[in-house]
């Protein structure tokens, strides 16, 4: 049974045109009947609301037991900033955040990281939008470990697509856990989205498409 909080988040994403239904292709090249594009958040209210959802997930999962937050370029950047602000406003947890540039800067302060400068033994949490094939995580970890000997144990995302990764029988999130020791926390899962659609009674045409996609690619 989907919780009220998960239902609220799904409806929030749909209202912002972030969660969309139709015919799409994911980063991993798979055809999918739904797509999550956090680049469609475009107002202050939306960003503040998104930050509250993430902050609640962070608070529940790790509390204050982390040093800083990292938002991978590009979509992770505003989400990390919003989460940092919401953690302080909602829970009085004041933690630094930082992000990376796609292209390293060769003037001014230089470097590829902006914001907090990670130190050895820092506990870093990653704030990201979604994980499909785990490609972004594999790009992110060298950036973090190249900056300092940090510990990355937790990652927070909007939607767990529950999709198989490169190893048969394992989701991309399972692979990330085994490869890097990262626990991935999602506000909602594809199963939550599916249950929401079924319960609403307004998306009957999408149900078989979702079922077909989940049967083909998802491990639940």
- Active-site residue, 107 included: yes
Average pLDDT for the chain: 92
pLDDT tens digits along 63-86: 999 999 999 988 999 999 999 999
For range 75-102, the mean pLDDT: 96
| Among 17-21, 82-86, 110-114, 166-170, the least confident range | 110-114
Which CATH code fits 4-217? 3.40.50.2020
Q: Do β-strands 31-36 and 19-25 pair in parallel, antiparallel, or remain unpaired?
A: antiparallel
Catalytic member of 105, 117, 149, 216: 105
Active site residue 102: no
Lowest mean pLDDT among 14-18, 85-89, 195-199, 216-220: 216-220
Question: Which listed residue (7, 52, 59, 107) is catalytic?
Answer: 107
Max CA distance (Å), the chain:
56
Q: Which residues lie closer than 8 Å to 101 by C-beta, 6 or more apart? A: 73, 112, 113, 114
* Torsion from C-alpha of 80, 147, 145, 130, nearest 10 degrees: 20
- At 110 the pLDDT is 46
Q: Is the confidence at residue 156, as pLDDT, over 70?
A: yes
């Amino acid at each position: 049974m989907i919780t009220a909080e998960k239902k609220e988040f799904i409806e929030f994403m749909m209202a912002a045109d972030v969660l969309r239904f139709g015919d799409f292709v994911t980063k991993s090249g798979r055809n999918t009947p739904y797509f999550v594009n956090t680049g469609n958040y475009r107002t202050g209210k939306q960003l503040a609301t998104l930050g509250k959802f993430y902050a609640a997930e962070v608070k529940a999962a790790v509390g204050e037991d982390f040093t800083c937050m990292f938002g991978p370029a590009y979509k992770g950047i505003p989400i990390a900033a919003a989460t940092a602000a919401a953690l302080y406003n909602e829970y009085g947890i004041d933690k630094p955040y930082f992000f990376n540039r796609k292209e390293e800067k060769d003037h001014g302060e230089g470097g590829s990281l902006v914001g907090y400068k990670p130190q050895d033994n820092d506990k870093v949490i990653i704030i990201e939008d979604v994980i499909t094939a785990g490609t972004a995580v594999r790009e992110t970890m060298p950036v973090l470990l190249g900056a300092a000997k940090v510990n990355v144990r937790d990652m927070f995302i909007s939607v767990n697509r529950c999709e198989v990764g490169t190893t048969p029988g394992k989701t991309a999130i399972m692979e990330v856990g085994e490869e890097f020791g990262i626990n991935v926390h999602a506000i909602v899962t594809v199963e939550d989205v599916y249950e929401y659609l079924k319960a609403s009674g307004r998306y009957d045409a999408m149900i078989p498409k979702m079922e077909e996609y989940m049967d083909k690619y998802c491990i639940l």
